[in-house]
Amino acid sequence: MKCFSFIKTMMFLFNMIIFLCGVALLAVGIWVSVDGSSFLKIFGPLSSNAVQFVNVGYFLIAAGVVLFVLGFLGCYGAHSENKCALMMFFCILLLIFIAEIAAAVVALVYNTMAEQFLKLIIVPAIKQDYGSQNDFTQVWNSTMEGLKCCGFNNYTDFEDSPYYQENKAFPPFCCINPDNGTVEGPCDLQKAKEDNVQGCFQQLLDSIRTNAITVGGVAAGIAALELAAMTVSMYLYCQLK
């Protein structure tokens, strides 16, 4: 009985943390969606990761909703000893776990397919919105500045974009001096061809491969926590009448 009470308490506290994290992510996601420019001014120089390739606000809101629901179900199920809530918590966590495994398999086995899929989405968005949508432009500027890269593939992604049509030049990040790493402009077609700055997707892949042990360790830690949470929720479920 003491073991049951201890596990129940730990389950409640653990999911309370998840619940609060969900609330925090929801708040930040709404902030980004409503006032993205101020968010990028604060965090833009520090943000150089994969989340910048998508709409940051919607991503944070979606993640916040998932954590909010998980935390609520876990806290409510453990506190009130509700078997339905515990089973829903287990099922949602199991679906997330399976989705993560599927995404890892696709990334490892079908990485070329994943690259082509992202290219079909991101490159047209660059050609349409870079230079006309302020938030989108600032996100890509922060990404290119942080990773020292140019576009998704290279400078050709910006051809026919509003920025190129207005300035008759590519973003200055596409013309980086290879000797000292400084950004030089104006970045015309000839200079962009000569510098041939690497695309951000390939640069991101190189960074992940360089830190493969860290990335793998974080992924393994998250998977272990998910398995532990599923085990505890099922234990509580089976112990309840």
Q: What is the pLDDT of residues 89-142, one digit of tens each?
A: 889 889 888 888 887 777 676 666 767 777 788 888 888 888 888 878 888 888
The answer to whether residues 229 and 176 touch, using CB atoms and an 8 Å cutoff, is no
Q: What is the mean pLDDT of the chain?
A: 78
Burial bucket for residue 60 (CB in 10 Å: 0-12, 13-18, 19+): buried
Q: d(Cα 141, Cα 182) in Å, to the nearest integer?
A: 15
Name the helix (H) or strand (E) containing 188. none
What local confidence, expressed as pLDDT, does residue 49 receive? 43
Mean pLDDT of 70-78: 86
Q: Give this prediction's pTM.
A: 0.59
What local confidence, expressed as pLDDT, does residue 55 receive? 57
Q: d(Cα 88, Cα 74) in Å, to the nearest integer?
A: 9
What local confidence, expressed as pLDDT, does residue 159 receive? 86
Query: What is the CATH T-level fold of the domain 112-205, as seen in this structure?
Result: Cd81 Antigen, Extracellular Domain; Chain: A (1.10.1450)
What local confidence, expressed as pLDDT, does residue 66 receive? 86
Give, in degrees to the nearest 5, the angle at Cα 147 between 141 and 151: 55
The larger pLDDT score, comparing residue 218 to residue 77, is at: 77
Q: What is the pLDDT of residues 14-56, one digit of tens each?
A: 888 888 888 888 887 777 777 655 655 555 544 444 344 445 6
Q: What is the pLDDT of residues 147-205, one digit of tens each?
A: 788 888 888 888 888 888 888 888 888 887 766 666 666 788 888 888 788 888 877 77
What local confidence, expressed as pLDDT, does residue 180 receive? 64
- Name the residue ranges covered by the structural domains of the chain: 2-109+212-239, 112-205
What local confidence, expressed as pLDDT, does residue 54 receive? 44
Q: Which of 37-41, 80-84, 230-234 has the lowest mean pLDDT?
A: 37-41
What local confidence, expressed as pLDDT, does residue 43 receive? 53
